[in-house]
Amino acid sequence: MDGGKSIPDKGKNTPEDLQAAMAKCGGAAVPTLDPAALEALRKQAKCMREEGITEFQDPTATGEAVPDDALEEQLGSPEGKKALKKCGITAKDPGSDPGDKA
């Protein structure tokens, strides 16, 4: 290593792992969504990826999704707006923040 800080691979740290660690260490519990609501959000995320919005991530256990610049760019495109509509996602949906009221 060159003396820089190591950033853990976020793909290895799941929301479930975080909850287990918080419980073991006496930390606050992380709120979670009802399993049916979380599954509905995951289906929307899958729909978005199937529609070509490749940067659309599955929501966390709390229903959150953190858009990055690449996702914001995809959502702002005509294809992104079409995918949002087709997949039934609006700016008010938990875990979505398209930045544009498509």
Residue 76 scores a pLDDT above 80: yes
Supply the pTM of this predicted model.
0.59
Report pLDDT for 43. 96
Look up residue 63 and give its two tokens.
């229903």
| Beta-carbon count within 10 A of 64 CB | 15
Q: Locate all alpha helices (DSSP H) within 1-102, ordered by sequence.
A: 15-25, 35-50, 69-76, 78-86
Please calculate the CA angle 88-93-55 and round it to the nearest 5 degrees. Answer: 75
Rg (CA), the chain: 16
Residue 56 scores a pLDDT above 90: yes
Residue 99 banded pLDDT, cuts 50, 70, 90: very low
The mean pLDDT of 56-67, rounded to a whole number, is 85
